[in-house]
A and B are shown apart, each in its own frame.
Chain A
Amino acid sequence: MSAQLLQFLLSGLTVGAIYALVALGFAIIYNASHVINFAQGEFVMIGGMATVSFIDAGLPLPLSIVLAVGAAALVGLLLEKLAIEPARNASVVTLIIITIGASILLRGLASLAWDKKIHALPAFSGEAPIALGGATLLPQTLWVLGVAAVVLALLWWFFNRTLTGSAILAVSHNRLAAQLMGVSVRRVLLVSFGLSAALGALAGILIAPITFTSWDVGVMLGLKGFAAAILGGLGSGPGAVVGGLALGMIESLGAGYLSSAYKDVFAFLIILAALVVLPNGLFGRRTSERV
């Protein structure tokens, strides 16, 4: 394998791991409510920006990370409580539109509360590139990949081995039946918003040393994360990760071997193709509507 190809693959891995983490957040809320939360990118932004301001306030990095994830989870809970819950009888489309509104609001608030500058976080374990057969990789990429793997394992455990997790899955399968079994749909929604906000924030913190962070970083990351989630199959954890990595690879190989000007075009073309051939994504549940 040529060093050039290897470098393209490693670049794809870096970008793909970022998309994968963002996509996981989409999966959780979709599972619980069938809502695509377009404010997911803003959770990513809040994680990065809050960490930057905690560090500027003199706190150590680990504490800043914990506080920022907590702050984002709180924003997620508030979003559910103040915007989604009052409209719980509305259609899914209405809820999705509410999340779009929330994303614009959160972006505006962030630009006022913080500033419109671009900020950087220090890399967790140095910036000396790791050489690998003529290509290079940043240590931070390993952090992103490692945490994505751990998060995936934790999510599997949460959804399959805990009562709350099972309740979320139950609601996603059949809302009415779950409700009749005594599952509080309201609580399930609250937990899933808090959880995906925390996850989004974690993603935002991990990637900030690579991509930097600013008040509007959530727009493009949210879009790419959404694309990755679609590609992998909405609502599937492993699907989100595979979708993210695949999207990163496609972009990187496209930019490397074809033309960098059309990098995003390749990515979205593949997604369109996937939607036509595999409407449920690579890992999505095969569902059929009963008429």
Chain B
Amino acid sequence: MVLRLALLALAATLGFSVQAQPIRIGAFLAVTGPAAFLGDPEQKTLELYVEKTNAAGGVLGRKLELVSYDSAGDAEKARTYARRLIEQDRVDVIVGGSTTGETMAVVPLAEAAGMPFISLAGAVVIVEPVKKWVFKTPHTDRMACEKIFVDMRARGATRAALISGSGGFDKSMRAECLKVAGKHGVSIVADETYGAGDTDMTAQLTKIKNAAGVQAVLNAGFGQGPAIVTKNYRQLGIAVPLYQSHGVASKQFVKLAGDAAEGVRLPAAALLVAETLPDADAQKKVVVDYKRAYEARFRQEVSTFGGHAYDGLMLALEAMRRAGSTEKAKVRDALESIRGYMGTAGAVNMSAQDHMGLDLTAFRMLEVRQGDWQLVKPGH
């Protein structure tokens, strides 16, 4: 035993590879529970791409090993599993945290342990203020607001009404939109809300309809609420453009709202319209490849959430290649220096001030036309 250890130490100092240890990728994801629609595709994506990477020879000549736990969307469980990943499993990097709550519960652990941590959750607070060891891959709701306001201005609208739900996503997006509206020259002239289980929003929309000079309406919402808002909007015959959020950027929304969804615009990740992107689009290859690989393997429609996990894993591996090792400090520095990486969420340009690295081009403005998405050409 002692001899073996001594030999190992000798081999290590001489730079021999005794028998290459696998690179351990740690993950805690909400695979079950209320946030399963996030965690489930994330888990599947990580499994798929760890497998693919190993089939292609691994990274730095070493295989990958995925250590994943189901946090069920519970921040307390996430903390427990993250501690286990760090202390017992001794992973090299953590890619995970389906929700903002889980992520923020784990941030102090990652910071204290010096563990590169790439979160898959949405909120701005994860990377603002910048935390040394924490990165994230999804775009933020603030960016969605900005994308919408830019589009409103392009159509000549400066006075907008806001209607939002009372869920966590809805509230956070409403707050971000109110914050950045002024910056884009849009004034919010009406601000209505509705409850989680509400069945009719015509009262709120009637108020908006009668508010003076409304030129566009933005619905910050998630779940069935936005579909009801869209139906009520048409019922009342409101003529100004309606914008929905990236929270309902799925075929399900179009299906639920039916004909009422015609003409609705919303910002979404390129993944949603992968095949309709022009060939010249630098992002097309990565999103089409990921979409095809995912759908061929799991026989279900790809979601942007799985894409976030893809980006997280690929960024971690890219950083290891650049660092030439899995040494945590080096991987962290390499992560921070990644520029021009093209992921499913967009072009990533990390810096010491920005641990997300995405800009507004990450979102595409879509319009519902004949029950399908259509890319809005800039300036239309």
Contacts and interface: CB of A to CB of B under 8 A. Distances in A.
Interface size range on A against B: 35 or more
Contacts of B234: 129
A8 B206 CA distance: 8
Interface stretch (B69-77, B110-118, B196-204, B279-287): B196-204
B57 interface: no
Given A7-B206, A11-B206, A256-B203, A263 B228 contact: no
B186 to A, nearest CB: 21
Contact of A252 (B195, B203, B256, B260): B203
B264 to A, nearest CB: 16
B203 A136 contact: no
Contact of A11 (B192, B200, B259, B260): B200
Which secondary structure dominates chain A's binding surface?
helix
A187 to B, nearest CB: 35
B256 A212 contact: yes
Given A4-B206, A127-B258, A210 B235 contact: no
A125 to B, nearest CB: 15
Given A15-B199, A116-B36, A260 B252 contact: no
B256 A118 contact: yes
A118 B195 CA distance: 17
B203 A11 contact: yes
A255 B258 contact: no
A255 B204 contact: yes
B237 A260 contact: no
Contacts of B252: 117-118
A264 interface: yes
Contact of B224 (A11, A14, A118, A261): A118
A13 to B, nearest CB: 10
26 contacts: A4-B206, A8-B203, A8-B206, A10-B202, A11-B202, A14-B199, A14-B200, A117-B252, A120-B227, A129-B236, A207-B199, A210-B200, A211-B199, A211-B228, A214-B224, A220-B196, A224-B197, A251-B203, A252-B202, A252-B203, A255-B204, A256-B207, A260-B194, A260-B203, A260-B204, A261-B193
The interface size bin for chain B is: 20 to 34
Given A118-B252, A120-B255, A127-B258, A220 B202 contact: no
Contacts of A8: 203, 206
Interface in B175-202: 192-200, 202
Interface in A263-281: 263-264
B233 to A, nearest CB: 11
B210 interface: yes
B256 A120 contact: yes
Contacts of A214: 224
Interface string A115-137: 01111100000010100000010
Contact of A7 (B197, B227, B231, B236): B236
Interface in A69-117: 116-117
